[in-house]
Amino acid sequence: MALLEIKNVSRRFGDFTAVDDVSFTVESGEFFTLLGPSGCGKTTLLRMIAGFDLPDSGAIVLDGVDLRDTPAEQRPIHTVFQSYALFPHMTVAQNIAFPLRMAGKADDEVRTRVREAVAQVKLDKLEQRYPHELSGGQKQRVALARGLVNRPRLLLLDEPLGALDAKLREQMQIELIRLQRGVGVTFVFVTHSQAEALALSHRIAVMNHGVIEQMDEPDKLYGFPKNRFVADFIGNVNMHEATVAATGGTLTLELGTLGRIAAPSREGVKAGTGGVFVIRPEQVSIRAAAEASPDPNQFEGVVNDFLYIGDVTTYIVDLPDGKRFEALLPNSAPGRAKFFEVGDHVRLSWKAEAGAFLDA
Amino acid sequence: MFLQDAPEGGVQYWELLVSGLGWTLAVSACAWVIALLLGSAIGTLRTTHRAWVTRVGNAWVELFRNIPLLVQMFLWYFVAPEFVPALKSWVIAADPAHAQFLSAVLCLGLFTSARIAEQVRAGIQSLPQGQRLAGMALGLREPQVYRYVLLPMAFRIIIPPLTSETMNLIKNSSIALTIGLAELTFRAREIGEYTFHFFEAFSAATLIYVAIAMAANRVMALVERRTAVPGYIAHGAK
Ligand SMILES: Nc1ncnc2c1ncn2[C@@H]1O[C@H](COP(=O)(O)OP(=O)(O)OP(=O)(O)O)[C@@H](O)[C@H]1O
Ligand SMILES: [Mg+2]
């Protein structure tokens, strides 16, 4: 049985629907992520799971028990807030010990559990500091330790890494994974960073305007986005309006005046259907226009700009119909960081299995 | 001059001042305890999300804040006994000083409680919303959230305004002279009238008020230092 079941949950504020008929389940031990742009309803959903807010309709079920009549403080669920919400008048050790003390645990059990938790989040030697004497990353660790110390069934995390700088964020991501696997507590994690979601999660629900657009494992979500929004939101993507010219083993798509391409076929599309063709920059090969490519799909273009990112270079190429496509080229050969200049004529190409045809 | 005998009671003038000081301190201390307890309770209730509780709290604050203190003093001493027969018979039978003392303590205590309630409410509401939610998320019931999470920080934050409320209370206690309580200002005036040395009498009273205020101030500063959270409040312990 699933640990957490969200069944047709809706929440309206006036005539604005913040969460619209959302359903999903979270398995025990899972790292589940709610991903979506600002204002899509992630926090609203999380607040209802935590019990700070009630759904207008639908049910939230934990371990088979409907939580409607269970107030926040009685749910075996903890929340780690973006603002950490540490108690400023308590030391690190007191903050972490607090849930245990309130649960009436004996002194030596509290001491042992706090020592364990402190070691887990690597806060040794800082136990006697107060929150205002800690850095952002250290506060974050205290909040995590406090959330985990009495082993909730479920830990909700609302953009817990939002306030950290890029380097620290990455470090904390790795520790989050380690912690979650280590303690076996189920996480429901909220973020609007797709990179973070992909790196951390077992499964991701992509939300937009209060609905779940797609729910899948990270690689499936990235490789097989179901619609234009998901394709665009997860990673980088090239898009081009397309019409189905012929169906069969592969789809034949008409990309406007650009010409025809072969694309992976999809169930239920008929000739004449309009939509978009999407393809990831790393699936697009780039070479000098004079060189031949074995790929069935190829177009010549002119380099408009390039971004040297370090490990790869992204080329932005103007196609003959005025559209722009991006192609990624790894900089793996030392000393050969840059292959093309602005204005160079290049050939973009991709395989028939690459990319996807999506509804507009 | 203060060593001269007063015309009544066989005491010297300085002894009158000391007895006045005694009443001032007694009234202030009792009223302060009432004000702090009631004020904290009402200030706290005003921040709970229960509409009628909040309304009662707001009404309390508006009532006691908006009636002039002098009028409140008269209401407690002259009017309140008219409505409560038991109180009236006690007032008639009791030593007038006791009735005056009780009226003054109630009046100043309730008046100041309204002001402290306002400070406590502001203190609690200045805390981030996440504090309350974090308490609930960690399994605390509402009274526990207040007891362990919100009030400890709110009180630390409002120590400076509480200090000035304390000093106001001590100074306001002089209004009790209008109902005849023989507190410090009353005695100073009395000495002035007996000796025509108003300047000396009121200078002495002034010095005593300043000394009390400074002592109260120092005590509050000590409390503030003792309870300061390292690194939290800028002027706390460094
Ligand atoms: N109490 C409320 N009253 C009215 N509207 C609200 C309320 N709470 C949230 N909303 C609206 O609901 C929508 C979803 O808000 P929510 O906080 O869930 O977004 P979010 O996905 O968490 O965004 P972010 O990434 O910025 O935190 C927003 O448009 C917000 O304005
Ligand atoms: Mg949010």
Q: Is A104 on the interface with B (CB under 8 A)?
A: no
* 8 Å CB contact between B35 and B112: yes
Tokens matching residue A169:
């964020």
For ligand 1, mutation pick of A12, A43, A206 (most atoms within 8 Å of CB): A43
* 8 Å CB contact between B159 and B224: yes
CATH tag, A236-359: 2.40.50.100
Question: Nearest CA of chain A to the CA of B149: how many Å?
Answer: 7
Cα(A253)–Cα(A19) distance, integer angstroms: 36
Q: Could you say which ligand is closest to the alpha carbon of residue A207?
A: 1
CB-based burial label for B193 (10 Å; 0-12, 13-18, 19+): exposed
- Comparing B49 with A301, which gets the higher pLDDT? A301
Reported as half-sphere exposure (CB side, CA atoms, 13 A), residue A127 has a value of 14
Q: Does position B2 have pLDDT exceeding 80, yes or no?
A: no
Q: Does position B238 have pLDDT exceeding 70, yes or no?
A: no
| Tokens 């807010």 -> residue | A53
Question: Nearest CA of chain B to the CA of A101: how many Å?
Answer: 11
Q: What is the pLDDT of residues B98-132, one digit of tens each?
A: 889 999 999 999 999 999 999 999 999 999 988 99
Nearest residue of B to residue A78 by CA position? Answer: B137
Return the amino acid letter for B50.
R
* 8 Å CB contact between A341 and A285: no
Q: Which residues of B touch A (CB under 8 A)?
A: 128, 130-131, 133-134, 136-141, 144, 148-149, 152-153, 156, 229-232
Please compute the mean of the pLDDT values over residues A332-353 and round it to a whole number: 82
The CATH classification of domain A4-231, taken from the options 3.40.50.300, 3.40.50.800, 3.40.50.1970, 3.10.20.740: 3.40.50.300
Other beta carbons within 10 angstroms of residue A267's beta carbon come to 4
Q: What per-residue confidence (pLDDT) applies to A338? A: 59
Q: Does position B211 have pLDDT exceeding 90, yes or no?
A: yes
Q: Which residues contact A355 (CB under 8 A, 6 or more apart)?
A: A263, A264, A277, A278, A279, A280, A283
**Cα dist from A60 to A19, A35, A53, A73, whole Å:** 13, 19, 12, 16
Q: Does position A267 have pLDDT exceeding 50, yes or no?
A: yes
Closest partner CB to A78 (pick from B138, B141, B144): B138
**Nearest one of B174, B158, B165 to B227, comparing CA atoms:** B158
Which of these ranges, A126-135, A158-167, A209-218, B148-157, has the smallest mean pLDDT? A158-167
Cα(A22)–Cα(A326) distance, integer angstroms: 35
**Cα dist from B36 to A89, A353, B40, whole Å:** 21, 76, 6
Chain B residues within an 8 Å CB radius of A129: 230
Q: What are the phi and psi torsion angles at A346 (to 5°)?
A: -130, 165
Whose Cα sits closest to atom 8 in ligand 1?
A44
CB-based burial label for B214 (10 Å; 0-12, 13-18, 19+): exposed
Closest partner CB to B130 (pick from A83, A102, A147): A83
* 8 Å CB contact between B135 and B144: yes
DSSP state of A227: S
Superfamily of domain B22-184, CATH level 4: MetI-like (1.10.3720.10)
Q: Would you place residue B5 in the very low, low, confident or very high pLDDT band (cuts 50, 70, 90)? A: confident
Tokens matching residue A186:
């189920």
Q: Is A130 on the interface with B (CB under 8 A)?
A: yes
**What DSSP string runs through chain B?**
-TTSBPSSTT-BHHHHHHHHHHHHHHHHHHHHHHHHHHHHHHHHHTTSS-HHHHHHHHHHHHHHHHS-HHHHHHIIIIIHHHH-HHHHHHHHHS-HHHHHHHHHHHHHHHHHHHHHHHHHHHHHHTS-HHHHHHHHHTT--HHHIIIIIIHHHHHHHTHHHHHHHHHHHHHHGGGGGGGT---HHHHHHHHHHHHS-HHHHHHHHHHHHHHHHHHHHHHHHHHHHHHPPTTTSTTS--
Q: What is the pLDDT of residues A203-241, one digit of tens each?
A: 999 999 999 999 999 999 998 899 999 998 998 899 999
Q: Does position B237 have pLDDT exceeding 80, yes or no?
A: no
Q: Would you place residue B234 in the very low, low, confident or very high pLDDT band (cuts 50, 70, 90)? A: very low
DSSP state of A41: S
Q: Does position A110 have pLDDT exceeding 70, yes or no?
A: yes
Cα(A141)–Cα(A171) distance, integer angstroms: 11
Domain range list for chain A: 4-231, 236-359
**Nearest one of B33, B32, B55, B47 to B154, comparing CA atoms:** B47
Q: Mutual orientation of helices B13-45 and B159-172 as an angle, nearest 10°? A: 140
Beta bridge partners of A25: A5
Closest partner CB to A102 (pick from B130, B144, B229): B144
* 8 Å CB contact between A250 and A262: yes
Mean pLDDT of all residues in chain A?
91
Q: What are the phi and psi torsion angles at A237 (to 5°)?
A: -150, 145
Cα(A334)–Cα(A222) distance, integer angstroms: 29
Cα(B170)–Cα(B211) distance, integer angstroms: 11
Maximal C-alpha separation, chain B: 70
Q: Does position B235 have pLDDT exceeding 50, yes or no?
A: no
Please compute the mean of the pLDDT values over residues A56-80 and round it to a whole number: 93
For ligand 1, mutation pick of A11, A40, A207 (most atoms within 8 Å of CB): A40
DSSP E strand stretches across A247-296: 250-254, 260-264, 274-279, 285-288
Q: Would you place residue A335 in the very low, low, confident or very high pLDDT band (cuts 50, 70, 90)? A: low
Return the amino acid letter for A355.
G
Task: Classify strands A77-80 and A238-246 as parallel, antiparallel or unpaired.
Answer: unpaired
Q: Could you say which ligand is closest to the alpha carbon of residue A193?
A: 1
Nearest residue of A to residue B149 by CA position? Answer: A87
Which of these ranges, A288-297, B83-92, B168-177, has the smallest mean pLDDT? B83-92
Cα(A141)–Cα(A159) distance, integer angstroms: 14
Chain A residues within an 8 Å CB radius of B144: 102
Cα(A99)–Cα(B136) distance, integer angstroms: 10
Whose Cα sits closest to atom 19 in ligand 1?
A39
Q: What is the pLDDT of residues B31-85, one digit of tens each?
A: 999 999 999 999 999 999 888 999 999 999 999 999 999 999 999 998 988 888 8
Please compute the mean of the pLDDT values over residues A271-297 and round it to a whole number: 92
Please compute the mean of the pLDDT values over residues A312-318 and round it to a whole number: 93
Closest partner CB to B230 (pick from A71, A83, A130): A130
